Structure 1
Amino acid sequence: MSSADKNFHHPFTPYDIQLQFMQALYSCIEEGKVGIFESPTGNAFSTSNLKLNTQSDESSLRALLNFCYFFKPTVQLGALEFAYKGGPAYKYVPIRTLTEVVLLQGKSLSLICGSLSWLRDHKRAKFLDTIDQSLSDGEPEWILEHSRREKTRSARERRKQLEDRLAKIRAEEERQRKKFMDGDQPHKKRRLNAETARSRKQDDSQFELDDYYSDDDERAAANATSKGDGIFSADTVALLEKLRGGPINANVDAEPDNDEVQIFYCSRTHSQLTQFAHELRRVKLPPSIPPETDDEAGESTADADDSLKETMKHLSLGSRKTLCINPKVRALGNPTAINERCLDLQRPETPAEHKCSFVPNKENEVLVNDFRDHTLAKVRDIEDIGKIGSKVGICPYYATRSIVKYSEIITLPYPLLLQRSAREALDISLKNHVVIIDEAHNLMDAISNIHSVSVSLTQLQLAIYQLTTYAQKYKTRLKGSNRVYITQVLRLVNSISDYMKTVLERKRPAEGVLRPSDIMAGKGVDQINPHKLSRYLHESKLARKVDGYIEHSTESEDTDKNAARTSVPVLFQVQSFLISLMNPSSEGKLFFEIAQNDVHLKYMLLDPTNHFREIVEDAKAVILAGGTMSPMEYYAEHLFPYLSSGRLKTYSYGHVIPPDNLVALPVVKGAFNSEFEFTYSKRNDERMIIDLGRTIAALCRVIPDGVVVFFSSYDYLNQVLAAWRKPLPNLKSSALELIEQSKTVFHESQDKATNTDELLQSYSSTINAGSGGGALLLSVMGGKLSEGINFSDKLGRGVIVVGLPFPNIRSAVWQAKVEHVGQKAYESSHGTGPEGSRSKAKAAEVEFLENSCMRTVNQCIGRAIRHQNDYAAILMMDRRYGTQRIQNKLPNWIRQNLVAGAAEQPVERTIGDVSGFFRRKRALNT
């Protein structure tokens, strides 16, 4: 199947860049590649298709506002254009007097249309192959053709029955919606049939540990294998329990082909997945079963009205916290507490009247089927699925398991895809399926965070108290292995706690690296078999038993139950940390940090390669997509080092803006000839900081509306502000006052009490008031405003990046990361000799740091240009931006617009270039 000249069924007329993107995506999936796609968010499409008459149609206006809430697009109203980014900060102009609304979208539709067009084509080709393979050889052609038509007609009829059933559900939902809109709704709201019995006084025998036989190595090994290995978070441990006697998936009719390829679409948050679901609703694709054909001509015989319309089968998966509909369980709030209570209610020893009534079982298969059909009837987001579960009276968290095999595209957040244990708990296999990860610029950090775990000295001391209390209570009832292993757990936790106390007492550096042997040096700890202990913690449910007993005791003392359950049960946190100690030392390291008279111990995953490799090896194709993925070699070197160049493909697409809508310039020297070099050793030069302020003041006089300035850290931003407030020599004004002559100045703060929405609202309101020269917003690279905020149009006519945000190489964590990269490079450089290996290791460390830095820079730069008609000036202030090495790490669409020779020209010429750029844009817009 070729992607050339293909109709991707885009709901609008795509630009050439969208077509190139979709063609490359189609080919990448077809060829089974791993593809990295960089496409700026501004890749919009033709805007003349959608019109709403907001003068007379109030429902259309309401629909528009709801659409904008979810999509956060750029919206053009008549001659006025602005960006909506959520919250009260971005007010709409009065739109009742305007007649045309134009909506511009991002790259999501290109991902949807490219991948799903491939999927339907693939399913259609496979269907035809299956039909042909089922025919008998040696029969006359006319018999074969007749048999082929009959098999196709039969398959179409079965599919049509399903589509008709779903259509009836959609019609009924529409009827109920209209009834509700007309005010004719029932007076009584249906109440969930939740657990209503009063909490019983439980005897403490339920918290006894079952007998544990550690000598049965074969059984224990088999159980360990079934649960996978690696680092398990507290949530994952709870999820894994589902594999041991979890709810029964109801049998459903019309079982799909288990070999059918599916698309797994993953993004960081449920809100991003909700936006994706809303865009998915706009796409209409041809059916996967081809139409019936004429006997002789081979042309379709289906009437237009009778043709098979196959809706998109989409499923959104979520966690228990997101999908639980049991009011008493949801009220616990904390994800770990919700997981544990859910599993407790399903335990075999739990009385039937106290089990969760929403869990699927053989008695409520009809409800599961009803839930399945309502979920598949439309493209639903995660909130819709929760509402359907509440309405039907079935647990959506478990009921969605029965829908996975019917779905064409499944959306889920990072944690549910990236952890093998979570995939197993969800009954998900990625074998021969397509995986698409959007907003993938944070993928490596996400993998590391998911597989990292920390614990504090305070938590360890509480765990010791709880374990000791439990052991004393049940000392006469603990038998054999249970007594031995609880003693081992106490020894190990005491050993870690004692070492952390010495760290606190010695007043050692605020952070550092530890070896596992440092914290496991207590009396008798060396006798512990860590792998057997890890297996015991998994299988005995010790943490749950202890936590349950502590909670039971607390309730008996009339303490507030909810207060006890809203925090993460401490033993689960400790258990997760202990299990992390069993990981290969080459993948991660232990760190300590002293803060607020407490010591925090953290296991951090340094190498995400192996944790993502199993996804790559299972999947048919893997797509990483993002607005800014540069520098792409970062992923090739640190996520896919094992892939051949033929398997890994990178694609970088330009912006839809015309070239004259962007000017990008490195600024090497300031207005008073200071060389801008904001390295750690030179950035404190107050003369250079003052010159920076005066240069920005000069730029603010020629850049209209909003200017956003990004600094390397909050500390440095505060230092710059302090210097700018000082009076200048021979002048009455400070550098800050010079800037304020042109722009009202706002600045981001690290203070948690600072409301970012209010800051953005003030910034936006000042610009839109139009009474002055606009506003200047001082922000931080990697801070709250560097991702997810779109400074389009007037909000970001200028973006200034000050320095390069290299990580703090003096920190223990970054030293460990860099050493790990260098060591890998050293080990891979066989045959180059010791000197050559050391040179390669050093080069790899420098490259790693530069790429980490430039990923952050590129995210900041991408905040400005958001759609085809947007325009802005981007200025990069540091002499290093003038070097070819750094410029090569910028996105293509920035590199292509760099002003030639700008690094060598005086700043007056640069200011003149910027002034001329905006003068030309004003002339074109008048």
Structure 2
Amino acid sequence: MANYSAATQLNMEPSQTDFYHPYQPYVIQLEFMMNLYKCIEEKKVGIFESPTGTGKSLSLICGALTWLRDHERRMLNATFGQTDASDWLLQAEFAAQRRALMLEREELELKLTKLREEENRQKQRGSDARGFKKARTAVIQNQVSVDDDFLVEDYESDSERTAASTTSKEGFSSSTQALLDKLRPSVKATDVEEPGSDRLKVIFCSRTHSQLTQFVNELRRVKPPPSMDLMIDDAKQNSKLEEIVKHLALGSRKNLCINPKVLQLSSTAAINERCLDLQKPGIAKDKKCPHLPSKEDKARVDAFRDRVISQIRDIEDVGNLGKDLQICPYYASRTAIAPVEILTLPYPLLLQKSAREAMGISVRDNVVIIDEAHNLMDAIADTFSVSLRLSQIEQALRQMTAYAIRFKQRLKGKNRVYVTQVIRLLNSLIDCLQVVTEKAHSHEVTVTAAKLMSGKGADQVKPHKLLQYLYESKLCHKVEGYSDSQSDEKPNTGKGAMMQFQNFLTVLMNPDDEGRFFAGRQDKDIVVRYTLLDPREHFREIVEESRAVILAGGTMSPMSDYADYLFSYLNRESLEMFSFGHVIPPSHLFAQAVVKGPSNIDFDFTFERRGSESMIVELGNMVLRTCTVVPDGVVVFFPSYDYLTQVISVWQRCPASCSLMQSLAAKKTVFQESKGAAADDLLRDYAIAIDSGKGGLLLSVVGGKLSEGINFSDKLGRAVIAVGLPFPNANGAEWKAKMQHIEELQYHQCKKAGKTEGESRAAAKSASRDFYENACMRAVNQSIGRVIRHRNDYAVILMVDRRFSTARITQKLPGWIKDSMHNSPVAWKVTEADIEAFFKAKE
């Protein structure tokens, strides 16, 4: 037994030391892939920080797919090879099973190979490959003019269940989720059966489809090891059959719908609702979506399933394939999930349980990889947070009242009761928001669910009963449909006031320790919003069901928040954190905290002191001298748009003889990011100015459009300057609630551990301060970390504020930047000379 264990442990090593990387991997890439492989094998949660430009995507792909194929081969050998040699009957049975599995895999690979070859031939011939297209003449009716279609059906039993909408947000609290699971039984959307066998998978998730497309492009480069030796048997010879990577890109209806009359609707909710409407039981055949798969479409669905995995396709390719075959790619994709090895999907499809269930995605025993995970906790909070405008509530009340008047004589029993409750609750929300915001003036304030439901008899409403009714009766959707039918405006504009109210009603049931309600004035309106404060429970099911969870990003530092507030329920042995260096040599990065300017004025951009005009002028002189010694592009990040505006105002008038802005413009072409404006044109003009030889100075904002996802590689970013620390507003209602929540968590943990009252309070205060600083530094790190894009790139990083020289802040920088910094602050003239020498060495 001991010998077998040792042999098994030896087999846990990767089948190839370079992990089948398409290029010669760097040492840090090998370390990344080895640690990723071990994390997955040992069923752990891993947090991986690897700077932009270090080939993170390829490292994730090669490490994960090598493990996947190695694991399948090991499991195959363990299942069919560990039999008693004396039991020849059992050996024969296992051999037959093994051969059957190999034949199944060989048939699949041969079929996919033929499909690839045929598709390549069609591309060469310029064919549109629409071999399965059927003529269809069905007309989709977007509007129903008969009032009866808007009347809710008789509703006499609270336990009676009908088809439920899946458009609302899910997973708000464990108790609420359990309730919603009962309220919304699953609905089988199509008559097409899915394959039974489900292959082990890597589920790869990122924020946007553009990031997923970049990942798919990298995936095309990789050829992982085979999971078994497959042979092709032809008349000439027996040869090995290539086992291609089976990949599927999944998306929402909005991404994959091919029905033009549905796709033209402006909001995701409207698209989802229209799609569900067109497949309701009892709907006339000529009103159903012509692309929805049915039993009669099995041949086309099978063709879609095989073709979609025959090549590695991005989400756009999947949509185009659906158009080619005239079959809905959103629903047809589900049949392709079982045989694939790697799924790519955006955050919402992974984070919402209802979305996973609707798509047929299971994380159980699979590997979940989340890229660009530096904002995962914020993404979870955003996914499960809801806002509602007073104007929407007032619109919903008008719609609901008009509906109640129109159908007054026909609403009976509990329909009448629940319609009345909706009107009461809408009135209560309106009264509460008007009173609260009158007292608060321009400030946002915290409100409670009890307060929101305290008026006009709404306190007698049982939210879970009302919510059950709304889901089962589809009242909100019917009210909106009736309102659209009575309006001269274009229907389904995406406002969805009643549906937004229904979403908001869900979070009214959430416990106070998970989130808070905030109300305040915004854009001449009053807004009430629910913000999730504790993301743990909403990600916990994914962690507990999956084999391993990997969070990866270019700037994950500081990492302590993930351990403390996302995975606090895990044993620390189950959580691994890695921060890898850069692929550039040390001589290619110059990083420095700048504490004083050219005139020896201190840089202290705390909120209380940042308005000092003398310091702002000193900053301008420092930027000017930086632009003098730095070639090509310089990017400056400010804490906020308001402060950027204030700084430019000072630079334009001081000194009067020749403003700093004029001096800067004489050195480089100056560009300014503005709130709400598109970044594409700005970046294009900035690049053109640099290519012209004049150089460019880009003034931008931490957390703005240019601080994430933009690579200032080579000449686009020879220097990046971070001005001050962009701390969130600690006096705002939301951040007060967040810090209070952190303090309460830490306090109870300390008390549980036996610490004194004083120790517990002090630790709680320290934890909330740390959390506050970490949020700031993640934003800084994300901004300054994008100037090095590849091994031969080089740049200067200047962090302008005395606080950047403190150990407390420095330790929150990524390792590759921290290791390049001087240990102690130096005078500006020394820094300027070092920068000049840095670039001279690159000539």
TMscore range, shorter length: over 0.9
Equivalences for residues 57-456 of structure 1 within 5 A: 106-132=55-81, 138-139=86-87, 151-180=97-126, 193=136, 195-196=138-139, 202-216=145-159, 230=172, 243-252=186-195, 255-256=196-197, 258=198, 260-290=199-229, 306-456=239-389
2:461 is aligned to 528
Match of 1:850 among 752, 773, 778: 773
2:821 is aligned to 898
- Alpha-carbon offset, residue 780 of structure 1: 0.7
Per-residue deviation, residues 673-722 of structure 1 (Å, max 9, x unmatched) = 11111000111111111111112212221111111111111111111111
SS in 2 for 1:306: strand
Per-residue deviation, residues 498-519 of structure 1 (Å, max 9, x unmatched) = 1222345556233111112222
CA spacing shift, 1:676–1:187, aligned 2, 3 Å: closer
Distance in 1 of aligned mates of 2:595 and 2:77: 63
Distance in 1 of aligned mates of 2:169 and 2:784: 43
Per-residue deviation, residues 732-770 of structure 1 (Å, max 9, x unmatched) = 3233333334222222111x3x44222222221121112
- Alpha-carbon offset, residue 877 of structure 1: 0.7
CA spacing shift, 1:473–1:137, aligned 2, 3 Å: farther
Distance in 1 of aligned mates of 2:697 and 2:681: 15
SS in 2 for 1:829: helix
Contact 2:140 2:288 in 1 (8 A): no
Q: Any gaps of 5 or more consecutive residues in structure 1?
A: 44-105, 294-299
Q: Any gaps of 5 or more consecutive residues in structure 2?
A: 1-11
2:30 is aligned to 19
1:749 is aligned to 674
Distance in 2 of aligned mates of 1:247 and 1:390: 18
Contact 1:266 1:411 in 2 (8 A): yes
CA spacing shift, 1:314–1:888, aligned 2, 3 Å: same
Distance in 2 of aligned mates of 1:241 and 1:313: 33
Is residue 872 of structure 1 aligned with residue 815 of structure 2? Answer: no
Is residue 779 of structure 1 aligned with residue 700 of structure 2? Answer: yes
Contact 1:664 1:898 in 2 (8 A): yes
1:911 is aligned to 832
Match of 1:802 among 710, 713, 723: 723
Distance in 2 of aligned mates of 1:272 and 1:853: 24
- Alpha-carbon offset, residue 155 of structure 1: 2.7
- Alpha-carbon offset, residue 825 of structure 1: 1.2
Distance in 2 of aligned mates of 1:910 and 1:303: 72
- Alpha-carbon offset, residue 214 of structure 1: 4.3
- Bigger mean CA deviation after superposition, 483-492 or 525-534: 525-534
Distance in 2 of aligned mates of 1:681 and 1:268: 36
- Alpha-carbon offset, residue 418 of structure 1: 0.4
Per-residue deviation, residues 461-499 of structure 1 (Å, max 9, x unmatched) = 111111111112222222211111111111111100112
Is residue 509 of structure 1 aligned with residue 451 of structure 2? Answer: no
What is the letter of the counterpart of residue 131 of structure 1?
A: F
2:595 is aligned to 668
Per-residue deviation, residues 826-851 of structure 1 (Å, max 9, x unmatched) = 12111222222211111011101110
- Alpha-carbon offset, residue 658 of structure 1: 0.4
Contact 1:231 1:452 in 2 (8 A): no
Distance in 2 of aligned mates of 1:806 and 1:33: 33
Per-residue deviation, residues 391-414 of structure 1 (Å, max 9, x unmatched) = 112111111111111111111100
Is residue 539 of structure 1 aligned with residue 472 of structure 2? Answer: yes
Contact 1:286 1:309 in 2 (8 A): no
Equivalences for residues 463-502 of structure 1 within 5 A: 463-502=396-435
1:63 is aligned to none
Distance in 1 of aligned mates of 2:445 and 2:455: 20
SS in 1 for 2:245: coil
Is residue 610 of structure 1 aligned with residue 537 of structure 2? Answer: yes
SS in 1 for 2:684: helix
What is the letter of the counterpart of residue 31 of structure 2?
A: Q
Equivalences for residues 647-662 of structure 1 within 5 A: 647-662=574-589
Per-residue deviation, residues 886-926 of structure 1 (Å, max 9, x unmatched) = 1111101111111233x1x211111111111111111xxxx
Distance in 2 of aligned mates of 1:875 and 1:204: 66
What is the letter of the counterpart of residue 40 of structure 1?
A: P
Identity of aligned residues (%): 49
Match of 2:522 among 595, 612, 620: 595
CA spacing shift, 1:117–1:787, aligned 2, 3 Å: same
Is residue 2 of structure 1 aligned with residue 2 of structure 2? Answer: no
What is the letter of the counterpart of residue 776 of structure 2?
A: C
Is residue 792 of structure 1 aligned with residue 738 of structure 2? Answer: no
- Alpha-carbon offset, residue 878 of structure 1: 0.6
Per-residue deviation, residues 524-553 of structure 1 (Å, max 9, x unmatched) = 122111221222222221111212222233
What is the letter of the counterpart of residue 739 of structure 1?
A: L
- Bigger mean CA deviation after superposition, 884-893 or 424-433: 424-433
Distance in 1 of aligned mates of 2:762 and 2:501: 41
SS in 1 for 2:47: strand
- Alpha-carbon offset, residue 7 of structure 1: 4.0
What is the letter of the counterpart of residue 598 of structure 2?
A: A
What is the letter of the counterpart of residue 786 of structure 2?
A: R
Contact 1:241 1:343 in 2 (8 A): no
TM-score, with structure 2 as normaliser: 0.93
SS in 2 for 1:164: helix
SS in 2 for 1:436: strand
Distance in 2 of aligned mates of 1:800 and 1:228: 41
Distance in 2 of aligned mates of 1:573 and 1:522: 20
SS in 2 for 1:795: helix
Distance in 1 of aligned mates of 2:290 and 2:165: 29
Match of 1:580 among 489, 507, 514: 507
Distance in 2 of aligned mates of 1:335 and 1:374: 28
Distance in 2 of aligned mates of 1:779 and 1:353: 54
Contact 2:202 2:369 in 1 (8 A): yes
- Bigger mean CA deviation after superposition, 26-35 or 396-405: 396-405
**RMSD of equivalent CA atoms:** 2.9
CA spacing shift, 1:550–1:885, aligned 2, 3 Å: same
Contact 1:314 1:409 in 2 (8 A): yes
Equivalences for residues 649-728 of structure 1 within 5 A: 649-728=576-655
Distance in 1 of aligned mates of 2:129 and 2:244: 31
What is the letter of the counterpart of residue 150 of structure 2?
A: F
TM-score, with structure 1 as normaliser: 0.85
1:825 is aligned to 746
SS in 2 for 1:41: coil
- Bigger mean CA deviation after superposition, 186-195 or 589-598: 186-195
Distance in 2 of aligned mates of 1:747 and 1:757: 13
CA spacing shift, 1:194–1:703, aligned 2, 3 Å: farther
